[in-house]
Structure 1
Amino acid sequence: MVNQVEPKLIKPLFEALQKERFVTLSTVDFETGGPNVSAISWVYAKSEDTIYFAVDNRSRIVQNINQNSLVVMNVIANESTYSISGKASIKVEKLEEVPLKLALLELKINEVRDVMFYGSKITVEPQYDKTYDKAAADRLDKQVMDAMKKA
């Protein structure tokens, strides 16, 4: 069976990306020209063809995207693993209403590919705990997600 390839987010992926979740983001390293993979959690599907994500505006991710806009976001959802490729750009250099210096980046989707190996499915999605003050983490997460939704 051939893995599915779509030009935009399928409904279960769009719904999964309506809240903070663990994803990995691959960029082209601005110094080496090789791959650079980062784990991020502030992601939000603005539409079926656009994903917003927030990172520290001093992040290597920002430096890499400034040099080469091609990215791949890996998402585990809907009992599978998806590779979402496209071009990313800085939409806002510093999100307002957020106490940290976070940049808002926009991924314009070119392709969504189901990359799960044949004959298998994901039975447990990745989970994580914030290791700092729970109340502060919840407040910050809400501020960031609200700012992304307003953008």
Structure 2
Amino acid sequence: MVNQVEPKLIKPLYDELQKERFVTLATVDYETGGPNISAISWVLAKDESTIYFAVDNRSRILANLGKNNQVVINLIANESTYSIQGLAQVKEERLKDVPLKLALIEVSITAVRDVMFYGSKIVSDVQYDKTYDKNAAQKLDKQVMEAMRKA
């Protein structure tokens, strides 16, 4: 059974991307030309066709995007797993009102696919715990998410 390809985020995915959450990001490695996978959490759906994410200015992700701007965001939500394809560009080289040097990346969505294998569903959400100062982490997360909303 072939899953339908959507040109933008469906409502449950848009809603899930209104808060910090775990996703993986695939880029094309600028040195090897092979796949490069990164885990990120500062991600926000600006609208149904656009996703923002923030990464450190020293991130390999930025070097990869400089050579090839195609990305795939893997999102586990809505009892399934989704492949969100798009074209990425640096929207802001330095995200305002954030103490770290973070770049804001804008992804223009080209396709959204439900890629869960047939006859299965996700039965629990991915959970993670920040292992450094909890209060500092919470403050920084709030600053980053607010800055992305303002962008």
Q: Normalising by structure 2, what TM-score?
A: 0.99
- The one-letter code matched in structure 2 to 1:40 is I
The reply on whether 1:64 has 2:68 as its aligned counterpart is no
Task: Show CA shifts across 1:27-82 (max 9, x none).
Answer: 00000000000000000000000000000011000110011000000000000000
Report how far residue 4 of structure 1 moved. Answer: 2.4
Instruction: State how 1:38-49 maps to structure 2 within 5 Å.
Output: 38-49=38-49
**Partner SS for 1:122:** coil
The reply on whether 1:28 has 2:17 as its aligned counterpart is no
**Partner SS for 2:15:** helix
**Partner SS for 1:125:** coil
Match of 1:14 in 2: 14
Give the ranges of 4+ consecutive aligned residues of structure 1 lying more than 3 Å apart after TM superposition.
Answer: none
Distance in 2, Cα, partners of 1:13 & 1:52? 14
Identify unmatched segments of 5+ residues in structure 2: none
Instruction: State how 1:1-151 maps to structure 2 within 5 Å.
Output: 1-151=1-151
Distance in 2, Cα, partners of 1:11 & 1:111? 15
Identify unmatched segments of 5+ residues in structure 1: none
- The one-letter code matched in structure 2 to 1:6 is E
Distance in 1, Cα, partners of 2:51 & 2:146? 14
Task: Show CA shifts across 1:67-121 (max 9, x none).
Answer: 1000000000000000000100100001111010000000000000000000000
- The one-letter code matched in structure 2 to 1:144 is V
**Partner SS for 1:19:** coil
- The one-letter code matched in structure 2 to 1:123 is V
Distance in 1, Cα, partners of 2:125 & 2:89? 28
Distance in 2, Cα, partners of 1:146 & 1:132? 21
* Count of residue pairs brought into register by the alignment: 151
- The one-letter code matched in structure 2 to 1:20 is E
Distance in 1, Cα, partners of 2:147 & 2:117? 36
**Partner SS for 1:53:** strand
Distance in 2, Cα, partners of 1:146 & 1:39? 20
User: RMSD in angstroms over aligned alpha carbons?
Assistant: 0.5
Distance in 2, Cα, partners of 1:76 & 1:4? 17
Report how far residue 22 of structure 1 moved. Answer: 0.3
